[in-house]
Amino acid sequence: MDPVGEWDWADWFYFYSTVATFLTTIGVLGIIWQIIGERRTRHREFENMYVSRYWSIANNLPRRFVCGHPDYEANEKEVVALTEYLLLCEDELDLRMRGFVTDQTWEIWAEGICAASSDKKLRELASTFPPGRLTNFKTLLESGSSSFDPLAWSKTKRWWNGLR
């Protein structure tokens, strides 16, 4: 303002540039939010493929295994299903390690994988795989942790990639 108390052109320019900067900042934040939301949506669509794969395998798993009973017998078809389940677990662990599984989904998957990893017959079946196969699942077994997470990213990086 000039000494008389009236606005001159410089005051108006400063006012408009401040408003424009504020609106630009809001626009940029909106674009960032949209990018992260799009990433999260892609992750969810990808995760749904693995949920469908799980349900197709689960129909052939031994019922006592599914219910968490420690002793059960598995016929040939059920052993194939248990092997497919192990491979699914390995894929899910690998996907999480590479940053393709959201934190919310991982909480659910990890609970199931960790519970299954305590099954004696599943452990025996995993040990029949040659070295270099089921590496993530075997790492989980060795860790013995119920909160095992193969993803070693910071919270900020997980948020930026749409995982949080």
The confidence score (pLDDT) of residue 7 equals 65
The confidence score (pLDDT) of residue 91 equals 92
Percent of the chain with pLDDT over 90: 26
The predicted model scores a pTM of 0.73
Confidence of residue 87 (pLDDT cuts 50, 70, 90): very high
The confidence score (pLDDT) of residue 158 equals 87
Contact between residue 37 and residue 159 where contact means Cβ atoms under 8 Å apart:
no
User: Is residue 124 predicted with pLDDT exceeding 70?
Assistant: yes
pLDDT tens figures, 42-58: 777 888 899 999 999 98
Mean pLDDT of 30-44: 80
The confidence score (pLDDT) of residue 44 equals 79
User: Is residue 106 predicted with pLDDT exceeding 60?
Assistant: yes
pLDDT tens figures, 1-30: 555 667 676 777 888 899 899 999 999 989
CA dist 126 and 124 (Å) reads: 5
Q: Which of 120, 31, 130 is nearest to 73 (CA)?
A: 120
Mean pLDDT of 132-143: 88
CA dist 8 and 27 (Å) reads: 29
CA dist 88 and 53 (Å) reads: 8
Higher-pLDDT residue of 143 and 144 is: 143
User: Is residue 93 predicted with pLDDT exceeding 70?
Assistant: yes
Residue 155 burial class via C-beta count within 10 angstroms: exposed 0-12, middle 13-18, buried 19 and up: exposed
Q: Tell me, what DSSP letter sits at residue 100?
A: -
